[in-house]
Chains A and B, each alone.
Chain A
Amino acid sequence: MSEAVLDIQSLRKTVHKGKNIVEDVSFKMHKGEILGLLGPNGAGKTTTIRMIVGLIKRSSGSVSINGTDMDEDSQTCKRQIGAIVENPAFYDYMSGWKNLQQHARMAIDPVSDERMQDIIKLVQLEDAIHDKVKKYSLGMKQRLGVAQALLHQPSILILDEPTNGLDPKGIRELRDYLRELADQGISTLVSSHLLSEMQLMCDRVVIMEKGRLIDETVIGELDQSDEQKVCIVAFQCRVDQIQEAKALIEADSEIELLHIEKEQTLVLKLHEATIPDVNKKFVEAGIDIYAIERKKTTLEEKFLSLTNTRNMTDIKEVQS
């Protein structure tokens, strides 16, 4: 493993009445890595990010960027960071272009107009860039936020819920772009409460709940051991064949039938590698399958069991 570009050691934030809203959070991010910070609402993701970028003081703990301690030389550290914290906000009485210019001027290394054009093209705001930000939609603002964070060519990107307000196409583009940046050696810390998204976007995920880190998962490792990977898949058949299908599954000890939805969908827990076999089995038995849908993945299950929250069930939707 290469040297950590971002090294967070035992971060803690104590608010009034001695309550710790972030406690003992430590993690490292490596060069070219996309690291997910996952947690339900109120877990302390934004608070952690605010402490990293210096918007709020750390009650204790340290942050170092490329080996430089934030307390010793915050200017050097901040030069290397590009960030969106919570919703990106802009001067809505100015155009997108003028907003970016404000940031371009603040960059220590000069930002050329060409660079601005490139970035704008990348986030696909060419058509609207000279309109007042007032007229932008949420997704357009999010794109402008990404452009702004990238403008000064930081080596570390910190994005707090960047997919908020983006349409599936926008999310995919962001994902592809972050991957491209990662290949160029730029590391990204991205927070989200949507696991499915994290899984597609990140190399590794750290999971937070109630201010603490509760787990760390390398997504790539999971993908490599596909044989072992257990997942939950829904097979939809006809109502009149459901009993037949059920009997077929119950005969197989490898597969666990979790429940039946709407009298026509079998929700199964099985090894990922066996999905085609199960399908074949249905077909051979003359059972017509209308849809196969992957429900939760193991990481999702893990996340759910760890964080134990109900409001995470919206996860399955965004599988763009």
Chain B
Amino acid sequence: MKVRIDPELCQGQGRCFSIAPSIFDFDDLGNGVVIGDGTLDDDTMKLAQLAQSNCPEHAIFIEE
């Protein structure tokens, strides 16, 4: 499974990189970006799901 951020939906609310700094970072404008290719293992999956459930813009997707 992989996590990605839809840049069209992300408004830089910053919840993802505060909750899961090992998975998400921010760019110069403060928008969220995924570190690396976003592949999740069992541990990072939980964290990614927590970030997803806190993104006000519903911009985080976890998919095959």
Do A and B originate from a single complex?
A: no
